[in-house]
Amino acid sequence: MRPFYGETLANGLMLGTAQYPSPKVLSDAFARSGAAVATVSLRRESGRDRAGQDFWELIRALDVHVLPNTAGCHSVKEAVTTAHMAREVFDTRWIKLEVIGEEDTLQPDVFGLVEAARILSEDGFQVFPYTTEDLVVADRLLRAGCEVLMPWGAPIGSGMGLNNLFGLRAMRAHFPDVPLVIDAGIGLPSHAAQAMELGFDAVLLNTAVAKAGDPAAMAEAFATAIRAGQLAAEADPMPPRDMAAPSTPLIGKAFLE
């Protein structure tokens, strides 16, 4: 696994902390999954609200890397301001940068994203940008100072999996040394395994676990799938073929006349 701003993670699962039915269920999901990173929204934390303090204590108890995000931000100014607040609250330079440009799909505003990434990178942030699989946008983000790319698999919360396999394969091939994370749209463990088989370094998801009938069991299923996909990628899998190929050799076969 490629390091994220110098940090080598224990595994490729990044898990969100929203929408769980209770704090205990959230804790159980992280315990069963062994997730290396917890993503958190500043909107879940309040400096003057006791519930917010309790949530932050819960996150600290998970003993994982914390990745604050700018979820729900629709402008560069809003995203940059939220990022600065998150750095103060969570005491980390990491920030998952979201600048939403379209309401129905929650597609990133890639123009605002690049601008915000540049501003934050120059201010010392280590930016994890939620982006599309567009190679030109990816290049602009890297030039803006990002060292990680987080392309979506599908719209946030849709559970549709990897919608553009060609684009994701192209991104992996075009940026072989850049850590890549599939962010958004993952609905099943098989989707996560597929992402890792493509050579991605991690998968970030939330709804698929938090909204499952048994979030802890689903979290463990995702962890297992991600490990399986990673092992498969490292094992150099066989390429697909257009025609059948016998698995049993013909040498030594008896021929009857």
| 96 is an active site residue | yes
Tokens encoding 154: 């599908």
Radius of gyration of the chain from its Cα atoms, rounded to whole angstroms: 20
- Cα–Cα distances in angstroms (integers) from residue 31 to residues 129, 183, 215, 230, in the given order: 27, 21, 11, 20
* Ligand-binding site membership of 39 (annotated): no
185 a known binding residue?
yes
Tell me if 223 is assigned to a ligand binding site.
no
Q: Give the H or E element holding residue 252.
A: none
Report the C-alpha gap between 230 and 66 in whole angstroms.
Answer: 23
Q: Is 206 labelled a binding residue?
A: yes
How many Cβ atoms from other residues are within 10 Å of residue 7's Cβ?
12
> 17: annotated binding-site residue?
no
Active-site residue, selected from the candidate residues 77, 96, 211, 253:
96
**126 to each of 69, 129, 148, 171, 250, how far by Cα in Å?**
12, 10, 9, 21, 57
- Kindly list the strands in the beta sheet with 65-69, ordered across the sheet, starting from the edge strand earlier in the chain: 150-151, 126-131, 94-97, 65-69, 37-41, 13-16, 202-205, 181-183
Residue ranges at the known binding site: 157, 184-185, 206-207
Residue ranges at the known binding site for 1-deoxy-D-xylulose 5-phosphate: 157, 184-185, 206-207
Q: Active-site positions? A: 96
